[in-house]
Amino acid sequence: MFPQSPSIASASNVDILIVDDEPTNLRVLSTIVRSYGYQVRQAISGIVALRAVQIQPPDLILLDIMMPEMDGYRVCEQLKFNSETKDIPIIFLSSLVSGMDKAKAFQLGGADYITKPFQVEEVLVRIDYQLTLRTLQIQLQQKNNRLREQNERLKQEIEIRQQTEVELRRSEAQLQGRTQQLQQALDELKLAQTQLAQSEKMSSLGQIAAGIAHEINNPIGFIYGNLDYASEYMEALINIINLYNKYYPQPHPEIAKRIQVSELDFVLKDFPKVLKSMLVGAERIRDIVLSMRYFSGYDQAYAQQEDIHIGLDSTLIILQSRIKEQTNRVAIEVKKEYGEIPPVNCYSGRLNQVFMNLLSNAIDAIEEKLEVVEEPFHPIIKICTQLSNSSKQFQDKNTQWVEIRIADNGIGIAPQIQRSIFDPFFTTKPVGKGTGLGLFISYSIIVEQHNGQLQCNSEVGKGTEILIRLPIEVPQSLDVSTTRKVKIAPSSLSLESDIGEM
């Protein structure tokens, strides 16, 4: 199945430049791409390609590496050096298969690398993916431009208000009240702008994750579905070979020589293991794809009945690269103690964002502790879920709650810092590693959007436990136009019992 038309425009409006010094390759590839509806231009050398780009920049370039006079690497380097052409996606086409060649292609700015001989479907899918990715980049750039325009207008408004304040200084009492109102308005505008940028970023990431999962799903489904047939065919062939060995023990000398050269005995033993390994790999990819599809539900408009455990497991799969063993530390053990809880009426994509923030913070805390401790340390993250009927914050004693506890034995949080961890823009991480919005947004999602609770209990050197309480039924629409200041209620969480026993 071929991919859908690119989202950058209709296929007939997409201009693709194909660069190859072999006329046959150039003609065949141009015919394939043109038959799919794209506009195609051809260049027989790197110099001709640069001139063609200068005359009219294309939307995408398919670039051969091995060419006389100027190879594909130099063409890519010059295009990326020019500010007007540096954003054009370049897909390298080459028979070079070494890791060094591919690494060089990506270091120079290549967007993708296809090894010759290539499959038609692969070329079309990769072209469509790059065009889609370019569309998302353009859309994001347009949104950033609109934000910059809003910033300029905001700066102009600030200047006007500052001039107004100078004129109103004749009345000190009125000036003080007006200044406080303006400061509050500016803070709200700044917070709203930052939340909008964060929301757009998460929405774009969700769309990309969903798109990647969709593109991978079909080919991995084909592979996974045919492995059983391959196993049956393999078993039938092996049985026939064994029968030949049984009833014709003395084969023709040429056949005997071929059996010896091919190491037939080893092949018969190893082939089933190879297919089994392929099955395990296909199942792993399938699990990751399913997790990405579930995790990317950021555009969910209404609350739905969801299984909290699926959201937790999908988030853990996405974070697997950070949880597994690293070069400088052992793997983080994840203990899951899931209780019997009913589905929760919630916004699953937003809850998954909360789980991602909290689990990422737990991993950061463990890695920070590993940098300072000298004795052997076994990192653990513990996730517990259970059903509860009590809550100190709400008066309705009949409400049922689902409790999710995420605990780590990391560096811990000092008491004076715990009072501010849910405040906007508050962070203890170095510049570039934290925005101070993760826990604030998590609080907003749990408390404002799901009418729940978010509590923290931590002890320096022992670890941190975050408690999430969600009511079984969440209102379909909540007023989230205002942001309430978090107050950490006294909690019955015990690090000695919950984290110390891990």
Instruction: Tell me what pLDDT residue 479 has.
Output: 39
Per-residue pLDDT tens digits for 82-125: 888 888 999 998 887 788 888 888 898 888 888 888 788 888 88
Query: 302-498: which CATH architecture?
Result: 2-Layer Sandwich (3.30)
Tokens of 81: 């050096």
Please say if the pLDDT value at position 382 is more than 90. yes
Question: Where residue 380 falls among pLDDT bands split at 50, 70, 90?
Answer: very high
Instruction: Tell me what pLDDT residue 269 has.
Output: 84
Cis amide bond preceding 117, omega within 30 = yes
Question: Where residue 466 falls among pLDDT bands split at 50, 70, 90?
Answer: very high
* Distance between CA atoms of residues 282 and 263, nearest Å: 28
> Measured in whole angstroms, how far is the alpha carbon of residue 283 from the centre of its chain?
20
Show me where the domains of the chain are located. 13-133, 171-299, 302-498
Please say if the pLDDT value at position 213 is more than 70. no
Please say if the pLDDT value at position 491 is more than 70. no
Per-residue pLDDT tens digits for 306-330: 898 988 988 888 788 888 888 878 8
Check residues 364 and 479 and name the one with the higher pLDDT: 364
Residue 63 contacts residue 105 (beta carbons within 8 Å): no
Instruction: Tell me what pLDDT residue 301 has.
Output: 58
| Entry field: residues in the chain | 502
pLDDT average, residue stretch 176-203: 68
List phi, psi (to 5°) of 217.
-60, -45
Superfamily the domain 13-133 falls into: Response regulator (3.40.50.2300)
Question: Where residue 492 falls among pLDDT bands split at 50, 70, 90?
Answer: very low
Closest listed residue to residue 6, CA positions, set 88, 139, 14 = 14
* Distance between CA atoms of residues 315 and 309, nearest Å: 10
